[in-house]
Amino acid sequence: MSVSIQRLQNRLFDLHSNKLFETAVIFIIIFSALVTGVKTYEINTSLDQTVQWLDALITLFFLFEVTIRLIAEPRTLDFFKKGWNVFDFVIVVASLMPVDGNDTVLLARLLRIFRVLRLISVIPELRVLINSLLKALPRMGYIALLMFIIFYIYAAIGSSLFNAINPDLWGNISVALLTLFRISTFEDWTDVMYETMTVYPLSWIFYLTFIFLTAFVFLNMMIGVVLDVMQQEQKQYDRERDDSEADEVHYIKAEMDQLSAKLDTIETLLRQSKRHD
Amino acid sequence: MSVSIQRLQNRLFDLHSNKLFETAVIFIIIFSALVTGVKTYEINTSLDQTVQWLDALITLFFLFEVTIRLIAEPRTLDFFKKGWNVFDFVIVVASLMPVDGNDTVLLARLLRIFRVLRLISVIPELRVLINSLLKALPRMGYIALLMFIIFYIYAAIGSSLFNAINPDLWGNISVALLTLFRISTFEDWTDVMYETMTVYPLSWIFYLTFIFLTAFVFLNMMIGVVLDVMQQEQKQYDRERDDSEADEVHYIKAEMDQLSAKLDTIETLLRQSKRHD
Amino acid sequence: MSVSIQRLQNRLFDLHSNKLFETAVIFIIIFSALVTGVKTYEINTSLDQTVQWLDALITLFFLFEVTIRLIAEPRTLDFFKKGWNVFDFVIVVASLMPVDGNDTVLLARLLRIFRVLRLISVIPELRVLINSLLKALPRMGYIALLMFIIFYIYAAIGSSLFNAINPDLWGNISVALLTLFRISTFEDWTDVMYETMTVYPLSWIFYLTFIFLTAFVFLNMMIGVVLDVMQQEQKQYDRERDDSEADEVHYIKAEMDQLSAKLDTIETLLRQSKRHD
Amino acid sequence: MSVSIQRLQNRLFDLHSNKLFETAVIFIIIFSALVTGVKTYEINTSLDQTVQWLDALITLFFLFEVTIRLIAEPRTLDFFKKGWNVFDFVIVVASLMPVDGNDTVLLARLLRIFRVLRLISVIPELRVLINSLLKALPRMGYIALLMFIIFYIYAAIGSSLFNAINPDLWGNISVALLTLFRISTFEDWTDVMYETMTVYPLSWIFYLTFIFLTAFVFLNMMIGVVLDVMQQEQKQYDRERDDSEADEVHYIKAEMDQLSAKLDTIETLLRQSKRHD
């Protein structure tokens, strides 16, 4: 029994490590994305039927593929130790939700869209890319916090001062935060400013200081992250180089010690020959 | 007496160095920010009453905390030698202004908003961030001055030429400066340009040279600051490495001098033995 | 016969290597660009006639120049081994299409516009620039794919949710992709957002997460490419330096071996002299 | 006579090297800028009179200052060998144009605005900044040319295809170039696109490829310039370091040669003593 399971596992492992199978998975993910895309067009009933059949087939295939990988794993629970496996598993399980129920039809459709994300876990280069993006996240966290503090203070000031002028933009702190985000993208920010300048002629100070502050912090954030990453790379690189340099210096020192030892021998010999005299 | 003060100081110092107390301070600052945010919503009278009570409590807590830190300092005046302490002190004292007086109610509310800034002085990572931002300030000063000269000249030209076309945008040099800042953010700049082009068909030269100049200077500013910071880091790093390299070369030289000395001894011995012959 | 062909080839090679001829080619390309430009103005019939004559002359000259370079090549087929030659040849041949046919008149005119591109193949500095741009292409490929996955998912969600609100912007996945590209350039993105927020008040989450994701990925893309290029340059540079350092260390080691050999000789001599004693 | 001129020169040189005089010049330039600014406001006649008097005084002062520096120069013509002197001289002479003549009143006023630029030649830090910006100019030249070729081709295509749709935007190649520049700043570019998409539904390809091309080239331009500058700095820095390293290696080699010579002496001595035996 156990042997036949072992054999099945090996076979399944061979299957999902197969280059052809991997390519098939990539193509079915892309095909699934296209089917998702087609569903957004207004299509006639017969095509709609086909699309739903295809969708069901894709769902089954993904379930099949994840099950294979789950079984092929020597110890089943080790499967969940890799982040990308959990990522795949959650996406596939979430897309199993039936689209028939009236209330959840939209949610089920949305969940199936996320199957496109499996492209990231399948293509190694994208996986590397995402991993390197995740590494930059904590470094950006504190800068995002600093940015949020600036936004919060300006939103509180803005909603206190300009509330009466335009409640749609400055009605409360949440709306004001959205308005400030809009201003930070320069999207029609002068319209917002000219409106408040009719009541508070000096309110351009509010907008200009906000733009300068966010731009300045953002610029320094970019520079900071670049420098941070560069320094790390540089240090690692130099460490490797230093090792090889250290080897060479070691070699020279070792040779010198040998020379020194030889000279000691010669000196001893000479002193002996002298004593003989 | 002096001993009991000493004991009180130590106790207070223990308290404000306490990890739990620090966390409490952070939470109360965040809570204070939320209370500030709630006040921007239209709320019923009973909640408003609660918020005012909370606000008073927060104010008292901050006063209490700063007083503790002030007393805990062995020499009271040393407290004001640290920039961040002064920063905290000014924010807390400013927020003590009563909100009751009719004229100053808005000012008092605005001053309390700045209590959110205390998050920066409490979280060490943010303090480091701000310190590094401040370091970049002087380097950006002269570039800002250069930028302002460009803006000023274009504003003077613009308000001389386009004054009659649209006084709202080009009426005088201050208004023209604001219009130029708007153009530098690309906000509806073509509307401004098309308007003046009806009178001066060649005025696109004015706008395009302005955009190129500011973009070019800004781009070089960014590059310059990046390079400046990088060079400093590199130099400091290399200085450290050079020290360790210098050590190794020193070692090799020292060994060589020893070898040389040994050879001299051998030569002397040989010459002596020869003379003996 | 073969000798006279050889002589012709040499003469043609001399001609097209001639500095004056090269300058003439550059000027005729610029002149051709100007003629293309003039044709976009509404001009009277007599000038139009002149322009058409000039156009025909330019076409003939380019044909003549490419033919010369083709013949001047010792082996004719080697001409097509250089990418820039193929680039020139395709542009010249494509511009030979007659402008008389009614249906293809627009296509023929468009094809002649691309003759301006020959400026790139003629000026060496631009050729270097293009080559370095092409080197960055593959590195940007996977990031573009990642970006497209983000766009595709948001477009699928957007066209599912907001389809009924504004079919012009969210009607199907292609239209939604275009709308999202517009949002990523911040072009009137708040108008799009405010429209959907009337139905889904929380849809600002959709827009803000999209902007943050694309900005974050784009920012890291820039940083990544910069670092990638820099590391390559640095490695190549260090490799060269290491070579020269390795030479020096080699020299020191070789000298040490000589010293060691000499000491061995001395020791042998001493031992011999001792045995003699 | 010649001696008294010499003495006058020395005195004038002392004057314009005087720290106080330099500060005075800076203040008068700033004051001149403010007067220029005041003139853009609508002011009553009496103030206007004052401003004109001030303007005349400033003009005289600048003339006086340049004359001093011209005379103070030991050889008068050497004054024009420094770029910044010529810069100052041209600005001062140009501002001498009388404002009275009716036709040239605007030109004369504009020329006086450029006196603000003298701030650059007076403050050394700004002079350094401008010099470093000028260094980056040639590197950006070829990229600007490449950019212009892309713009020109798209403008020619655009004015051929979209001419009939909106002559204001695509009427001829110059207008099309301006429209494309507007698109490259993302200023209401979707309005332009949606208009042409009503006739050519596929014209979004035109806009998207244009945006990608210009963004891609611009991005690489930035990166290229940064890398270029960095490499230069790095090379210069490494050259200095290599020199000091080379010195050390030289020292080690020299020591080794001495050791080798000593060993040779010892060997000779030994061989001699052996022969004696």
> How close does chain A come to C263, measured CA to CA in Å?
7
The predicted-structure confidence for C2-13, as pLDDT tens digits, reads as follows 667 777 777 777
- The answer, for B43 touching chain A at a CB cutoff of 8 Å, is no
Q: How confident is the model at residue A245 (pLDDT cuts 50, 70, 90)?
A: low
Q: Is-contact B142 D125, C-beta < 8 A?
A: yes
- The answer, for C89 touching chain A at a CB cutoff of 8 Å, is no
Q: B12-21, C258-267, D45-54: which has the highest mean pLDDT?
A: D45-54
Residue in the structure block whose two tokens are 């010369």: C68
Cβ-Cβ contacts under 8 Å, A186 against chain C = 186
Residues 90-119 in D contacting B (C-alpha not used; CB under 8 Å): 106, 109-110, 113-114, 116-117, 119
In this complex, which of A42, A117, A182 lies closest to C149 when CB atoms are compared? A117
> How close does chain D come to B137, measured CA to CA in Å?
15
Total Cβ atoms within 10 A of residue B2? 6
- Write down the pLDDT at residue B238: 65
Q: How confident is the model at residue A260 (pLDDT cuts 50, 70, 90)?
A: confident
User: Which of B35, B40, B231, B256 would best serve as a mutation to test chain A binding (most A beta carbons within 10 A)?
Assistant: B40
Residue B18: DSSP 8-state: -
- Write down the pLDDT at residue B85: 87
How far is it, in rounded angstroms, from Cα D138 to Cα D224? 13
Q: Is-contact D140 D221, C-beta < 8 A?
A: yes
Q: Pick the more confident residue, A165 or C130.
A: A165
Cβ-Cβ contacts under 8 Å, A230 against chain C = 227, 230
Q: Pick the more confident residue, C81 or D253.
A: C81
How far is it, in rounded angstroms, from Cα D228 to Cα C239? 19
Cα Rg of chain D, angstroms: 33
- Write down the pLDDT at residue A231: 64
> How close does chain C come to A100, measured CA to CA in Å?
16
The predicted-structure confidence for B76-133, as pLDDT tens digits, reads as follows 788 888 888 888 889 888 888 776 666 677 787 788 888 888 888 888 888 888 887 7
Triad A229, D219, C110: Cα angle to 5°: 155
The predicted-structure confidence for D75-91, as pLDDT tens digits, reads as follows 778 888 888 888 888 88
Q: Do B186 and D185 touch (CB under 8 A)?
A: yes
Nearest CA in chain D to B230: D230
Q: Is-contact C197 C204, C-beta < 8 A?
A: yes
- Write down the pLDDT at residue D277: 58
Residues 174-233 in C contacting D (C-alpha not used; CB under 8 Å): 178, 181-182, 185-188, 222, 225-226, 229-230, 233
Total Cβ atoms within 10 A of residue A277? 9
Compute the average pLDDT of residues C128-145. 79
How far is it, in rounded angstroms, from Cα A162 to Cα D49? 42
Cβ-Cβ contacts under 8 Å, C175 against chain D = none
Cβ-Cβ contacts under 8 Å, D266 against chain B = 263, 266-267, 270
Cβ-Cβ contacts under 8 Å, A188 against chain B = 187-188
- Write down the pLDDT at residue C253: 74
Which among A219, A222, A146 has a CA at the least distance from the CA of B124? A146
Mean residue pLDDT of chain B comes to: 81
In degrees and rounded to multiples of 5, residue D104 shows phi and psi of: -100, 5
Nearest CA in chain A to B262: A263
User: Which of C139, C169, C172 would best serve as a mutation to test chain A binding (most A beta carbons within 10 A)?
Assistant: C172
Q: Is-contact B155 B176, C-beta < 8 A?
A: yes
How far is it, in rounded angstroms, from Cα C22 to Cα C122? 8
Cβ-Cβ contacts under 8 Å, A132 against chain C = 220, 224
User: Which of C40, C118, C253 would best serve as a mutation to test chain D binding (most D beta carbons within 10 A)?
Assistant: C40
Q: Is the pLDDT of residue D30 over 70?
A: yes
Q: Return the number of CB contacts < 8 Å for C and D.
A: 122
Q: Do A156 and B36 touch (CB under 8 A)?
A: yes
Residues 46-75 in A contacting C (C-alpha not used; CB under 8 Å): none
- For domain C2-122, the question of CATH label 1.20.120.350 is answered with yes
How far is it, in rounded angstroms, from Cα D89 to Cα B4? 75
ipTM: 0.79
How far is it, in rounded angstroms, from Cα B93 to Cα A73? 64
Mean residue pLDDT of chain C comes to: 81
Q: Do D273 and B271 touch (CB under 8 A)?
A: no
Q: A213-227, C245-259, D132-146: which has the highest mean pLDDT?
A: D132-146
- Write down the pLDDT at residue A100: 65
How far is it, in rounded angstroms, from Cα D188 to Cα D166? 15
Cβ-Cβ contacts under 8 Å, A229 against chain C = 223, 227
Residue B82: DSSP 8-state: S
- For domain C127-257, the question of CATH label 3.40.50.300 is answered with no
Cβ-Cβ contacts under 8 Å, D225 against chain B = 223
- Write down the pLDDT at residue B237: 63
- The answer, for B269 touching chain D at a CB cutoff of 8 Å, is no
Q: Is the pLDDT of residue D151 over 90?
A: yes
Which among D180, D124, D120 has a CA at the least distance from the CA of D156? D180
Q: Pick the more confident residue, A135 or C87.
A: C87
Nearest CA in chain C to D184: C185
How far is it, in rounded angstroms, from Cα D29 to Cα D35? 10
**Range list for CATH 1.20.120.350 in chain B:** 2-122
- Write down the pLDDT at residue D234: 63
**Range list for CATH 1.10.287.70 in chain C:** 127-257
> How close does chain D come to B162, measured CA to CA in Å?
11
Which among D40, D163, A251, B162 has a CA at the least distance from the CA of C246? A251
Q: Is the pLDDT of residue D16 over 90?
A: no
How far is it, in rounded angstroms, from Cα A36 to Cα A29? 10
- Identity (one letter) of the amino acid at B112? R
- Write down the pLDDT at residue B275: 67
Cβ-Cβ contacts under 8 Å, A116 against chain C = 149, 152-153, 156
State the first-to-last Cα distance of chain A, in angstroms, to the nearest integer.
Answer: 91
How far is it, in rounded angstroms, from Cα B255 to Cα B275? 30
The predicted-structure confidence for B171-206, as pLDDT tens digits, reads as follows 889 999 999 999 999 988 999 999 999 999 999 999
- The answer, for A152 touching chain B at a CB cutoff of 8 Å, is yes
Q: Is the pLDDT of residue A1 over 60?
A: no
- Write down the pLDDT at residue A83: 85
Total Cβ atoms within 10 A of residue C193? 19
> How close does chain D come to C116, measured CA to CA in Å?
7
- Write down the pLDDT at residue C204: 93
- Write down the pLDDT at residue A108: 79
- The answer, for A42 touching chain C at a CB cutoff of 8 Å, is yes
Which among A45, A49, A39 has a CA at the least distance from the CA of A115? A39
The three-state (H, E, C) secondary structure of chain A, written as one string: CHHHHHHHHHHHHHHHHCHHHHHHHHHHHHHHHHHHHHHCCCCCHHHHHHHHHHHHHHHHHHHHHHHHHHHHCCCHHHHHHCHHHHHHHHHHHHCCCCCCCCCCHHHHHHHHHHHHHHHHHHCHHHHHHHHHHHHHHHHHHHHHHHHHHHHHHHHHHHHHHCCCCCHHHHCCHHHHHHHHHHHHCCCCHHHHHHHHHCCCCCCHHHHHHHHHHHHHHHHHHHHHHHHHHHHHHHHHHHHHHHHHHHHHHHHHHHHHHHHHHHHHHHHHHHHHHHHHC
- Write down the pLDDT at residue D155: 94
pTM more than 0.90: no
Contacts of residue C104, defined as CB under 8 A and 6 or more positions apart, other chains included, come to C97, C98
How far is it, in rounded angstroms, from Cα B134 to Cα B141? 11
- Write down the pLDDT at residue A227: 63
Contacts of residue B125, defined as CB under 8 A and 6 or more positions apart, other chains included, come to A142
Q: Is-contact C152 C141, C-beta < 8 A?
A: no
